[in-house]
Amino acid sequence: MTYAVVDSPLGPLTLVGTEAGELTGVYMDRQRYRPDESGFGDRDDAALPAVAEQLDEYFHHGRTTFDVALRLAGTEFQRRIWVALQDIPYGETSTYGGLAAALGLKPQSARAVGLANGKNPVSIIVPCHRLVGSTGSLTGYGGGIERKRALLDHEAGGKLLSW
């Protein structure tokens, strides 16, 4: 494992990946469920250059999709949710219940979808910020509601303010 810390308008982002360049985590400072840094491996700010480049393009140059290699570690259910999140188009949102329905799950599964969403280790690239409450309210985000709002505003064509 290796990690790099890159600057972003949301503050520093810690990119964690394998020696083969597969991304396993994107973490914001003060992020809920952020693993202990001791498990990230050796720091090398030149590591994961494609990830850093695509994030910079997302924040500053209009990139709307990502195509980096991912290695998502979680339960089968969590991975299923994280894969489905990647199908929510840039600039759009879905609800927890809507994602559950799209996956053929019972309406009561919305809470489980929310819990899996909250454990997403690859924020921004796996766009967990695109899930909102049933009324459109901004509920829960590991990086904080303010960052969730900033990402959604950015994708709606707004300028992303620096943190």
**59, 8 Cβ separation under 8 angstroms:** yes
> Based on the structure, what is the number of domains in the chain?
2
pLDDT tier for residue 31 given thresholds of 50, 70 and 90 = confident
pLDDT digits (tens, 9 = 90+) for 32-86: 888 999 999 999 999 999 999 999 999 999 999 999 999 999 999 999 999 999 9
Whether residues 83 and 150 share a domain: the answer is yes
Candidates 65, 55, 106; CA nearest to 85 is 65
Quote the CA–CA distance of 14 and 35 in Å, as a whole number: 11
Can you tell me whether residue 1 is helix, strand or coil?
coil
Is 128 noted as a catalytic residue in this protein?
yes
Q: Is residue 80 a part of any domain in this protein?
A: yes
Identify the active-site residue in 68, 128, 151, 152: 128
Whether residues 96 and 47 share a domain: the answer is no
Q: Quote the pTM value.
A: 0.92
**CATH number, domain containing residue 53:** 3.30.160
